[in-house]
Amino acid sequence: MPRNHYTGLAGQSHDSPAQAGVLLVNLGTPEAPTARAVRPYLAQFLGDPRVIEYPRWLWWLILHGVILRIRPARSAHAYARIWTAEGSPLRVGSEQLTTALQAALRNRAGAVRVALAMRYGAPSVRAQVEQLQREGVRRLLVLPLYPQYSATSTGSVIDAVADTLKRLRWPPELRIVNDYHADDGHIEALALSIERWWATHGRGDALLLSFHGIPQRYVDAGDPYFQQCHTTARRLRERLGLDEASLIVSFQSRVGRERWLQPYTDATVKRLATAGIKRLDVACPGFAVDCLETLEEIAMQNRDFFVAAGGQALRYIPALNDSAEQVASLAALVLRHAQGWPEFS
Protein backbone atom coordinates (compact mmCIF):
# COMPACT_ATOMS: atom_id res chain seq x y z
CA MET A 1 0.00 0.00 0.00
CA PRO A 2 1.31 3.51 -0.77
CA ARG A 3 2.09 5.66 2.21
CA ASN A 4 -0.66 8.10 3.22
CA HIS A 5 0.94 11.54 3.46
CA TYR A 6 -2.21 13.46 4.40
CA THR A 7 -4.42 13.57 7.46
CA GLY A 8 -8.12 13.15 6.72
CA LEU A 9 -11.42 12.21 8.31
CA ALA A 10 -13.07 9.00 7.22
CA GLY A 11 -16.81 8.46 7.18
CA GLN A 12 -17.92 12.11 6.90
CA SER A 13 -21.53 12.53 5.82
CA HIS A 14 -22.37 14.88 2.98
CA ASP A 15 -25.02 16.52 5.14
CA SER A 16 -22.88 17.00 8.28
CA PRO A 17 -23.34 20.59 9.48
CA ALA A 18 -20.23 22.70 8.94
CA GLN A 19 -18.87 24.98 11.61
CA ALA A 20 -16.57 27.97 11.73
CA GLY A 21 -13.60 28.01 14.06
CA VAL A 22 -11.55 30.75 15.67
CA LEU A 23 -8.05 29.74 16.69
CA LEU A 24 -6.35 32.03 19.18
CA VAL A 25 -2.58 31.56 19.20
CA ASN A 26 -0.24 32.78 21.92
CA LEU A 27 3.51 32.36 22.30
CA GLY A 28 3.59 29.39 24.66
CA THR A 29 5.02 28.35 27.99
CA PRO A 30 6.98 25.50 29.53
CA GLU A 31 5.00 22.86 31.36
CA ALA A 32 6.70 23.57 34.69
CA PRO A 33 9.13 26.11 36.19
CA THR A 34 12.04 23.68 36.05
CA ALA A 35 15.17 23.55 33.93
CA ARG A 36 14.11 20.14 32.60
CA ALA A 37 10.77 21.52 31.38
CA VAL A 38 12.18 24.82 30.14
CA ARG A 39 14.90 23.27 27.97
CA PRO A 40 12.66 21.70 25.26
CA TYR A 41 10.49 24.81 25.22
CA LEU A 42 13.51 27.07 24.65
CA ALA A 43 14.90 24.66 22.06
CA GLN A 44 11.70 24.92 20.03
CA PHE A 45 11.35 28.69 20.50
CA LEU A 46 14.96 29.66 19.85
CA GLY A 47 15.26 27.05 17.10
CA ASP A 48 12.60 28.84 15.03
CA PRO A 49 14.32 30.56 12.06
CA ARG A 50 11.71 33.31 12.26
CA VAL A 51 12.95 34.20 15.74
CA ILE A 52 16.69 33.89 15.17
CA GLU A 53 17.81 34.80 11.65
CA TYR A 54 21.31 33.35 11.67
CA PRO A 55 22.77 30.67 9.38
CA ARG A 56 21.23 27.44 10.66
CA TRP A 57 24.49 25.53 11.15
CA LEU A 58 26.05 28.38 13.13
CA TRP A 59 23.00 28.98 15.28
CA TRP A 60 22.59 25.24 15.95
CA LEU A 61 26.11 25.15 17.39
CA ILE A 62 25.48 28.24 19.54
CA LEU A 63 22.04 27.09 20.69
CA HIS A 64 22.93 23.51 21.59
CA GLY A 65 26.54 24.11 22.53
CA VAL A 66 26.07 27.13 24.79
CA ILE A 67 22.57 28.55 25.31
CA LEU A 68 20.68 25.36 26.14
CA ARG A 69 23.39 24.44 28.65
CA ILE A 70 23.06 27.70 30.58
CA ARG A 71 19.75 29.44 29.99
CA PRO A 72 17.18 26.79 31.07
CA ALA A 73 18.19 27.06 34.74
CA ARG A 74 18.10 30.87 34.63
CA SER A 75 14.74 30.94 32.88
CA ALA A 76 13.32 28.33 35.26
CA HIS A 77 14.22 30.56 38.20
CA ALA A 78 12.38 33.46 36.57
CA TYR A 79 9.32 31.30 35.83
CA ALA A 80 9.28 30.06 39.42
CA ARG A 81 8.89 33.65 40.63
CA ILE A 82 5.55 34.06 38.82
CA TRP A 83 4.18 30.49 38.74
CA THR A 84 0.82 30.08 40.46
CA ALA A 85 -1.10 27.19 41.97
CA GLU A 86 -3.04 26.99 38.68
CA GLY A 87 0.15 26.90 36.61
CA SER A 88 1.69 29.25 34.05
CA PRO A 89 0.04 32.71 34.09
CA LEU A 90 0.22 32.87 30.29
CA ARG A 91 -1.49 29.49 29.91
CA VAL A 92 -4.17 30.21 32.52
CA GLY A 93 -4.86 33.72 31.24
CA SER A 94 -5.02 32.60 27.62
CA GLU A 95 -7.46 29.81 28.50
CA GLN A 96 -9.67 32.24 30.41
CA LEU A 97 -9.64 34.63 27.44
CA THR A 98 -10.57 31.78 25.09
CA THR A 99 -13.51 30.76 27.27
CA ALA A 100 -14.74 34.34 27.53
CA LEU A 101 -14.47 34.91 23.77
CA GLN A 102 -16.38 31.68 23.10
CA ALA A 103 -19.20 32.92 25.35
CA ALA A 104 -19.25 36.33 23.67
CA LEU A 105 -19.43 34.87 20.16
CA ARG A 106 -22.10 32.38 21.16
CA ASN A 107 -24.45 35.32 21.61
CA ARG A 108 -23.53 36.98 18.30
CA ALA A 109 -22.84 34.17 15.80
CA GLY A 110 -23.96 30.67 14.86
CA ALA A 111 -21.97 27.45 15.15
CA VAL A 112 -18.56 28.87 16.04
CA ARG A 113 -15.88 27.00 17.97
CA VAL A 114 -13.10 28.98 19.72
CA ALA A 115 -9.88 27.14 20.53
CA LEU A 116 -6.44 28.03 21.86
CA ALA A 117 -3.03 26.97 20.55
CA MET A 118 0.51 27.80 21.56
CA ARG A 119 3.16 28.49 18.96
CA TYR A 120 5.72 26.72 21.14
CA GLY A 121 4.79 23.97 23.55
CA ALA A 122 1.31 22.57 24.01
CA PRO A 123 -1.34 22.58 22.75
CA SER A 124 0.33 22.97 19.38
CA VAL A 125 -1.12 24.69 16.32
CA ARG A 126 -1.12 21.39 14.46
CA ALA A 127 -2.95 19.51 17.22
CA GLN A 128 -5.63 22.18 17.56
CA VAL A 129 -6.26 22.62 13.83
CA GLU A 130 -6.63 18.85 13.43
CA GLN A 131 -8.98 18.72 16.43
CA LEU A 132 -11.11 21.51 14.98
CA GLN A 133 -11.27 19.58 11.73
CA ARG A 134 -12.50 16.50 13.60
CA GLU A 135 -15.22 18.67 15.16
CA GLY A 136 -16.50 19.72 11.74
CA VAL A 137 -14.82 23.12 11.36
CA ARG A 138 -14.66 23.99 7.66
CA ARG A 139 -13.94 27.70 7.95
CA LEU A 140 -11.05 28.81 10.18
CA LEU A 141 -10.07 32.29 11.36
CA VAL A 142 -6.62 32.42 12.98
CA LEU A 143 -6.12 35.23 15.49
CA PRO A 144 -2.55 35.49 16.83
CA LEU A 145 -2.62 37.29 20.18
CA TYR A 146 0.01 39.79 19.01
CA PRO A 147 -1.50 43.24 18.40
CA GLN A 148 1.56 44.38 16.43
CA TYR A 149 2.81 42.29 13.52
CA SER A 150 6.36 40.97 13.50
CA ALA A 151 7.85 38.18 11.45
CA THR A 152 9.18 36.83 14.75
CA SER A 153 5.69 36.39 16.20
CA THR A 154 2.71 36.56 13.82
CA GLY A 155 4.87 35.51 10.90
CA SER A 156 5.90 32.41 12.81
CA VAL A 157 2.26 31.58 13.57
CA ILE A 158 1.47 31.82 9.87
CA ASP A 159 4.31 29.39 9.18
CA ALA A 160 2.91 26.91 11.72
CA VAL A 161 -0.60 27.15 10.23
CA ALA A 162 0.72 26.71 6.70
CA ASP A 163 2.80 23.68 7.70
CA THR A 164 -0.29 22.15 9.30
CA LEU A 165 -2.60 22.77 6.34
CA LYS A 166 -0.08 21.18 3.98
CA ARG A 167 -0.67 17.90 5.84
CA LEU A 168 -4.47 17.95 5.64
CA ARG A 169 -6.32 16.11 2.90
CA TRP A 170 -9.16 18.67 3.01
CA PRO A 171 -7.88 21.95 4.52
CA PRO A 172 -10.47 24.40 5.83
CA GLU A 173 -11.15 27.77 4.27
CA LEU A 174 -8.65 30.07 5.97
CA ARG A 175 -8.42 33.68 7.10
CA ILE A 176 -5.70 35.20 9.30
CA VAL A 177 -5.68 38.42 11.31
CA ASN A 178 -2.28 39.96 10.59
CA ASP A 179 -2.44 42.57 13.34
CA TYR A 180 -4.80 44.83 15.27
CA HIS A 181 -2.36 47.45 16.52
CA ALA A 182 -4.54 50.42 15.48
CA ASP A 183 -7.96 48.83 15.89
CA ASP A 184 -10.32 51.33 17.50
CA GLY A 185 -11.77 48.76 19.89
CA HIS A 186 -8.33 47.63 21.00
CA ILE A 187 -7.10 51.18 21.63
CA GLU A 188 -10.25 51.93 23.63
CA ALA A 189 -9.79 48.75 25.68
CA LEU A 190 -6.21 49.76 26.51
CA ALA A 191 -7.26 53.29 27.44
CA LEU A 192 -10.11 52.13 29.67
CA SER A 193 -7.83 49.66 31.41
CA ILE A 194 -5.28 52.37 32.22
CA GLU A 195 -7.93 54.86 33.29
CA ARG A 196 -9.57 52.29 35.56
CA TRP A 197 -6.20 51.48 37.12
CA TRP A 198 -5.50 55.18 37.70
CA ALA A 199 -8.93 55.64 39.29
CA THR A 200 -8.05 52.94 41.83
CA HIS A 201 -4.34 53.56 42.43
CA GLY A 202 -3.80 57.17 41.48
CA ARG A 203 -1.77 58.44 38.56
CA GLY A 204 2.02 58.30 38.50
CA ASP A 205 4.42 60.98 37.30
CA ALA A 206 4.76 59.37 33.86
CA LEU A 207 3.43 56.43 31.85
CA LEU A 208 5.90 54.12 30.14
CA LEU A 209 4.73 51.79 27.35
CA SER A 210 7.17 48.89 27.14
CA PHE A 211 6.98 46.70 24.03
CA HIS A 212 8.91 43.50 23.41
CA GLY A 213 12.02 44.23 21.39
CA ILE A 214 13.40 42.65 18.23
CA PRO A 215 16.81 43.10 16.57
CA GLN A 216 17.15 46.40 14.71
CA ARG A 217 18.30 44.56 11.58
CA TYR A 218 14.89 42.87 11.31
CA VAL A 219 13.23 46.28 11.04
CA ASP A 220 15.93 47.42 8.60
CA ALA A 221 15.00 44.38 6.48
CA GLY A 222 11.33 45.42 6.34
CA ASP A 223 9.61 44.21 9.51
CA PRO A 224 6.79 46.71 10.33
CA TYR A 225 6.84 46.03 14.08
CA PHE A 226 8.63 49.21 15.20
CA GLN A 227 6.23 51.50 13.32
CA GLN A 228 3.17 49.59 14.52
CA CYS A 229 4.31 49.88 18.15
CA HIS A 230 4.65 53.63 17.76
CA THR A 231 1.26 53.84 16.06
CA THR A 232 -0.33 52.06 19.03
CA ALA A 233 1.47 54.44 21.38
CA ARG A 234 0.41 57.52 19.43
CA ARG A 235 -3.21 56.45 19.28
CA LEU A 236 -3.21 55.66 23.00
CA ARG A 237 -1.49 58.95 23.83
CA GLU A 238 -4.14 60.86 21.91
CA ARG A 239 -6.97 58.90 23.53
CA LEU A 240 -5.59 59.52 27.05
CA GLY A 241 -4.85 63.19 26.32
CA LEU A 242 -1.16 62.93 27.22
CA ASP A 243 1.88 64.68 25.76
CA GLU A 244 5.12 63.01 24.70
CA ALA A 245 6.80 63.83 28.01
CA SER A 246 4.06 62.04 29.93
CA LEU A 247 3.85 58.91 27.76
CA ILE A 248 7.16 57.30 26.81
CA VAL A 249 7.92 54.28 24.61
CA SER A 250 10.66 51.70 25.21
CA PHE A 251 11.56 48.13 24.23
CA GLN A 252 12.37 45.23 26.55
CA SER A 253 13.65 41.64 26.53
CA ARG A 254 16.74 42.06 24.38
CA VAL A 255 19.09 39.08 24.13
CA GLY A 256 22.68 38.94 22.93
CA ARG A 257 25.08 41.69 21.95
CA GLU A 258 23.63 43.02 18.70
CA ARG A 259 21.59 46.20 18.58
CA TRP A 260 17.88 45.83 19.31
CA LEU A 261 15.08 48.39 19.07
CA GLN A 262 15.76 51.38 21.28
CA PRO A 263 15.40 52.91 23.77
CA TYR A 264 15.82 49.89 26.02
CA THR A 265 13.34 49.57 28.88
CA ASP A 266 15.90 48.86 31.60
CA ALA A 267 17.99 51.88 30.63
CA THR A 268 14.85 54.02 30.35
CA VAL A 269 13.52 53.26 33.84
CA LYS A 270 16.95 54.07 35.31
CA ARG A 271 17.12 57.34 33.35
CA LEU A 272 13.64 58.39 34.44
CA ALA A 273 14.47 57.69 38.08
CA THR A 274 17.62 59.81 37.96
CA ALA A 275 15.64 62.55 36.17
CA GLY A 276 13.31 62.91 39.17
CA ILE A 277 10.38 60.65 38.28
CA LYS A 278 9.25 59.16 41.59
CA ARG A 279 6.20 57.11 40.59
CA LEU A 280 6.39 55.42 37.20
CA ASP A 281 3.42 53.59 35.71
CA VAL A 282 4.27 50.91 33.15
CA ALA A 283 1.94 49.18 30.68
CA CYS A 284 2.86 46.61 28.03
CA PRO A 285 0.44 46.98 25.08
CA GLY A 286 2.15 44.29 23.03
CA PHE A 287 1.07 41.52 25.40
CA ALA A 288 -2.57 40.41 25.34
CA VAL A 289 -2.12 38.28 28.47
CA ASP A 290 0.26 38.63 31.39
CA CYS A 291 3.33 36.43 31.18
CA LEU A 292 6.99 36.14 32.17
CA GLU A 293 7.93 39.33 30.35
CA THR A 294 5.35 41.45 32.16
CA LEU A 295 5.11 39.86 35.60
CA GLU A 296 8.80 39.07 36.17
CA GLU A 297 10.78 41.28 33.82
CA ILE A 298 8.74 44.47 34.28
CA ALA A 299 6.96 44.16 37.64
CA MET A 300 10.00 42.66 39.41
CA GLN A 301 13.31 43.21 37.58
CA ASN A 302 12.65 46.70 36.24
CA ARG A 303 10.92 47.72 39.46
CA ASP A 304 14.19 46.94 41.24
CA PHE A 305 16.19 48.86 38.63
CA PHE A 306 13.94 51.89 39.08
CA VAL A 307 14.11 51.91 42.86
CA ALA A 308 17.88 51.35 42.89
CA ALA A 309 18.29 54.38 40.61
CA GLY A 310 16.35 56.64 43.01
CA GLY A 311 12.70 56.13 42.10
CA GLN A 312 10.08 55.39 44.73
CA ALA A 313 7.68 53.00 42.96
CA LEU A 314 7.33 51.35 39.57
CA ARG A 315 3.68 50.32 39.24
CA TYR A 316 2.86 47.75 36.59
CA ILE A 317 -0.59 48.09 34.98
CA PRO A 318 -1.80 44.55 34.13
CA ALA A 319 -2.41 43.34 30.58
CA LEU A 320 -5.96 43.25 29.26
CA ASN A 321 -6.21 39.49 29.96
CA ASP A 322 -9.87 38.35 29.95
CA SER A 323 -11.29 41.78 30.78
CA ALA A 324 -14.69 42.63 29.35
CA GLU A 325 -13.07 45.33 27.18
CA GLN A 326 -10.58 42.93 25.59
CA VAL A 327 -13.22 40.25 25.03
CA ALA A 328 -15.54 42.78 23.38
CA SER A 329 -12.79 44.20 21.17
CA LEU A 330 -11.62 40.76 20.02
CA ALA A 331 -15.21 39.63 19.39
CA ALA A 332 -15.77 42.68 17.19
CA LEU A 333 -12.47 41.97 15.41
CA VAL A 334 -13.51 38.37 14.73
CA LEU A 335 -16.94 39.39 13.44
CA ARG A 336 -15.38 41.92 11.08
CA HIS A 337 -12.79 39.51 9.67
CA ALA A 338 -15.34 36.70 9.29
CA GLN A 339 -17.84 38.72 7.27
CA GLY A 340 -19.47 36.66 4.55
CA TRP A 341 -19.20 33.33 6.33
CA PRO A 342 -22.66 31.83 7.00
CA GLU A 343 -22.01 31.35 10.72
CA PHE A 344 -21.42 35.09 11.14
CA SER A 345 -24.20 36.44 8.95
Binding residues, by number, are 212, 293
Max CA pair span of the chain:
75
Q: Give the separation between CA 160 and CA 158, rounded to whole angstroms.
A: 5
Residues in the chain: 345
Ramachandran angles phi, psi of 142, nearest 5°: -100, 125
Asked whether the beta carbons of 218 and 151 are under 8 A apart, the reply is yes
- 159-163 long-range Cβ contacts below 8 angstroms, 24+ apart: 159/50, 160/25, 160/119, 160/124, 160/125, 160/126, 161/125, 161/129, 163/126
CA dist 214 to 2, 25, 62, 140, Å?
A: 45, 19, 19, 29
Q: Give the separation between CA 49 and CA 74, rounded to whole angstroms.
A: 23
List residues forming the annotated binding site for Fe(2+): 212, 293
